[in-house]
Amino acid sequence: MKTAFFPAKTLAHLPGDNIEAQAVLCAEFDRFDGHARQLPEHHDDYVEALGILKGFAMARDVTLAPFPEIVPQRHQNIASIAAYFSQLRNAARTELAGRHSRSYFDSKTEEYMALFAKVQVYEFSEPEFKRVHELANELRELIRNSSLITEVHKRRLMRRLEAMQGELHRKTNDIDRFWGFLGEAAITMRKFGEDLRPVSERVMELSRIIIKVILGKEGIKALPELGEMFLPNGREA
């Protein structure tokens, strides 16, 4: 862009989650719009901002509302682009707020269900919980951008990964979806072996953390050799 907005670093490191990525793009547009103040001399940057958004949607196969038509009148283009980003921003905020509320509700429901049932819950330490979600986000990006994993495997892995991440809270009494993701990841790691090392390393680290929490609940300290389960020749990544 002619102005110092939508920098390449921001665009190259958008969140893996499409709604979160849309929120980042809308926030960057708001920053630009506040600078440009919808003046006609910034017309081309407004059009480019819309092009960035459309390119993002096409690359990630995201369905958005129909994009505004670009017409000869600069003021009309600027106004329609600003209105489009405003609509998208509000929709993204609503979705993210809803996700947070649902996640918090699920987390508290599980916590109190365990309390009332006197069932011990799986509990992550704050660093463990943070690292698990960091690894899940890194895996999402690696899987999405992998040239080795087939589209069929990508869809299966992403579906399992999203389900697992949505299930994990600081305190939870259910980690069933982790096993679903782990099974799918194990098949993929066995299939591609050493060529999938960046994915394998993160799956192994994530698995160690979660299995440690699971076994810790049962008073078991020794971890199994995960390489025997997932990697060719039983070799750790």
Helices (H), the chain: 8-12, 18-36, 43-59, 74-117, 126-145, 151-167, 176-192, 197-217, 226-230
d(CA 5, CA 38): 14
Residue with tokens 């708001």: 30
Residue 206's alpha-carbon distances to 77, 103, 199, in angstroms, are 47, 20, 11
The helix (run of H) or strand (run of E) holding residue 80 is: helix 74-117
pLDDT in tens, the chain (237 residues): 788 899 999 999 898 899 999 999 999 999 999 999 989 999 999 999 999 999 999 999 999 999 999 999 999 999 999 999 999 999 999 999 999 999 889 888 887 877 776 656 778 888 998 999 899 999 989 998 888 888 888 888 888 898 888 878 888 777 778 888 888 888 888 877 666 888 888 988 988 888 888 787 766 665 555 555 455 554 444
Go through the chain and tell me how many residues it has. Answer: 237
Residue with tokens 């990508």: 154
- For residue 101, count other CB atoms closer than 10 A to its CB: 10
Q: Which tokens in the block code for residue 181?
A: 């993701």
Whether the predicted model's global pTM rises above the 0.85 cut: no
